[in-house]
A and B are shown apart, each in its own frame.
Chain A
């Protein structure tokens, strides 16, 4: 797998923008997805589903609440991809 953390961030940011209509400048790694970006729970589900489809990884219902920041989401994707590959 050649995808860098930077690549993953770019794709996650694009997904967040697509789902929420937010601008790229509003998304940053340290921001809390629900509190800072003000994303409602169903939009968060949609981001999760889009991430699962894009990266072929799973985010279980138990894992979802532990993902708070954009960075947490990227960490999860990296770990899940490493475990898969």
Chain B
């Protein structure tokens, strides 16, 4: 508990008095009315969705479903860790954290917000898990147990993240938890359709009382962790809160200015700040290949410096197969495949992105635009080729594709994916002066739309033969591979020929 003297400190009274106007009756009426309207609109669909849970689980999709839930939980933990999670608005962080005010009192509002976020995320995870395992009987008990288990996981995970911010040892434990959840996701995806299916089916058929007992134990553990996190708030070093607050302020600024490109810069700066690097000379062979190859070599260095990210990238190459297993049909898997391969290519375009945002170094290096683009396309194409070949092999192994050299579609599409990734890296910030189009579905701002489509458009266009093959699943894939190879090479060639560095004002 916060001591009464801390709550009544004159500084807090001053801040309360100067932070906006107090809520009026009109504000309260609007809030309550909004909640009632939301309940009226959402009540029926939610009730129908909950009633739809009263069914037996589909054993074929248990593994993939559980994999997606575990991956989502790991993502939740990773996000909490990346953001802090304890942070304050920039002004509060600068003035209050470094003041002699009781730290826990300063952070109590943040703690309440984190708890709310954890409860909501946990409840969503619990419902997702219940939709995977189904509720063959006693829907009420199973629903309550799933919600309790999800909320306990959410609150416990958030508390672990707060503890991780306080001490490096706890942060290591949090990283193990995140890695463990990703491993569970991979294990469930791999073994869910094989040896693990029987175990998962047994879990789905377990009595509701067992689920309630597990939820009870989880709630006790979560409450214990939350109590420790609450106590730790007083001991979180000010520099960690300041760092996470600055990071969040930049991310918020990027979000409010609707400039998602800034987020990549924030992430890169956060990763490299304060790191000592082992400098390596430029290989003679690369220098002999010319200025463009020397310029592009930096991407190889960067990729080599983040082996964890590379391993994670190839780890998620199983995602299209998991998606095909969980959702059924090849169209969603093809979409995931295209997104994943484009992400793989975009992972090594940091230099082009920097030159697009600030061309000062590009001018100093004075490398010919076309030669630089061609040299910079090599690594993204190689990564996209390897990732998509692996993902296609996974799809074939999962039985989503017939026999044949389907993996070859990946390398054939890779040049087009590299062109798309480089186009993404060079796109300018969102142009908010673009017109807003009124449609029956609401107003559509074209600026963000065009920004989001710049890059994926070229990748999609250049990958059409591969996507057509994945959707139609022909008996002989070779003609599609040939068409894809021609399309991929043509798109990259056209992109390189058109690439002339633009002067920026």
Q: Do these two chains really belong together in a complex?
A: no
